[in-house]
Structure 1
Amino acid sequence: MDLVIYSALALIYLILVIRIATQLSGKRQWLNYSIFQIFVLFSLAYDNGIIAAGHFIGEGELLKTLSSVRFWLHAFATPTLILVGYYILRRSQVQFSKHIITHITAWLLTVGLIIYQMVSSTLHEVKSLIPIEEYGVLRYTSESHTSPPFMVIIVGFWLLIIGLIVLVKQKWVWLFVGTTLLFVGQGLQIPIASTALTNVYELILMLSIWITTSRAMLSQRR
């Protein structure tokens, strides 16, 4: 079951990468912060794809090396959703988002979370990868539990707050719903033999971000 889910997720993310790249190209929007969606989506496509391909690659140094890239991409890509959120905030015409301090804060938070994730987690995780075979997939996961997912929590709360703001300001409900479902879904204990459910909630979040940024682009042209 998990092999099908991970494979499907990887394919959907690749389709989204192509779709958003085409969208940005058509609107000549390559220089705005919504482009970081592509980076995040690619990292998620890679993450799910390597897990799905684990059995085909086989246990060993090659799969271990390819798996370590998953952790590095997570550290570098996920915090850039802070900048995507900032873009949404700007395009929703929220007054305080136009201040330079908000812009600087978004960048400081992004860079700070990248550094924090690398130092507190990633450097240790990639040194302690062990193979695990469960629910039909073979993957390398970290034996080291260095810290709570602080970076993910901060990014999630940032998006949740922005989702609430744009819901009130512009009646854009998608980001708030997508982020809420991510938090609720990760907190639920669903009795299903799978490790892929969290990844499904990540897809819902990314779809909600894409819908919101697409709406923001249309708003910008008015």
Structure 2
Amino acid sequence: MDVWIYSALTLVYLILVIHMTVDLTRRKQWITYFTFQLIVSLSLAYDNGIIAAGNTIGEGERLIVLSSLRFWLHAFATPLLILVSYQILRSSGTTLAKNSITNAAAWLITIGLVIYQIVAFTLSEVKNLTPIEEYGVLRYMAEGHAGPPIMVIIVGFILLFVGLIVFIKRKGIWMFVGTTLLFVGQLINLQVESGALTNVCELILMLSIWKTTTFVWRINRR
């Protein structure tokens, strides 16, 4: 069952990337932070794609190397959503974002989270990968590594905060709802025969961020 879910998620991400590329080109926004959504979406497409292809690739060194890249992409790409949220905040006309201090803070938090994730998690994770087969998919996970996903939590709260501001200031509710659903998916232990619930919530989040990006762009065209 899960192999089809991960395959479908991969396909939707690739379609989203194509759609983003066309829209960014049409809007001439390639030099804005909105472009970082492409990197995050591509990394998530790769993540879901490798999980979906795990049984086809088979257990061994090749899948270990490909799986290691999943963890590295997670460390480098996920914090980029902070810069995307800053651009959304700025484009929504929020005064808080219209100064160099906020811009610098966004970069410092992003870089700090990348370094933290690599030092605290990624270096250890890629050295302790073990094969796990559940719900019909084979993937490598980090063995014996515990602890809350601090980086993801911080990124999530920043997205939630920005989404709330956009909702209050501009009545754009998508990112706030998308981030809320991600937290709900993480916190509530639903009795479903699948390990892909979080991945589905991630896709909803990325779609909501892109919808918000489009929304604030249209506001600036008025």
* TM-score normalized by the length of structure 2: 0.98
Q: What is the count of residue pairs matched by the alignment?
A: 222
Gaps of 5+ in 2: none
Give the match for residue 154 of structure 1: 154
Percent of aligned positions that are identical = 63
Give the match for residue 17 of structure 2: 17
Give the match for residue 63 of structure 1: 63
Q: Alpha-carbon deviation of 1:220?
A: 2.1
Give the match for residue 40 of structure 2: 40
Structure 1: how far apart are the matches of 2:12 and 2:179?
A: 19
Say yes or no: does 1:119 pair with 2:119: yes
Partners of 1:120 and 1:146 within 8 A in 2: no
Partners of 1:43 and 1:70 within 8 A in 2: yes
Give the match for residue 109 of structure 1: 109
What stretches of structure 1 move > 6 A for 4+ residues in a row? none
Say yes or no: does 1:26 pair with 2:26: yes
Say yes or no: does 1:171 pair with 2:171: yes
Structure 2: how far apart are the matches of 1:197 and 1:113?
A: 25
Q: CA RMSD in A?
A: 0.8
Letter in 1 for 2:221: R
Structure 2: how far apart are the matches of 1:28 and 1:94?
A: 22
Structure 2: how far apart are the matches of 1:219 and 1:61?
A: 50
Give the match for residue 205 of structure 1: 205
Structure 2: how far apart are the matches of 1:220 and 1:118?
A: 37
Superimposed CA distance per residue, residues 69-114 of structure 1 (whole angstroms, 9 cap, x where no aligned partner) = 0000000000000000000000110011101110000000000000
Give the match for residue 191 of structure 1: 191
Structure 2: how far apart are the matches of 1:97 and 1:144?
A: 41
Structure 1: how far apart are the matches of 2:96 and 2:133?
A: 49
* TM-score normalized by the length of structure 1: 0.98
Structure 2: how far apart are the matches of 1:147 and 1:99?
A: 36
Gaps of 5+ in 1: none
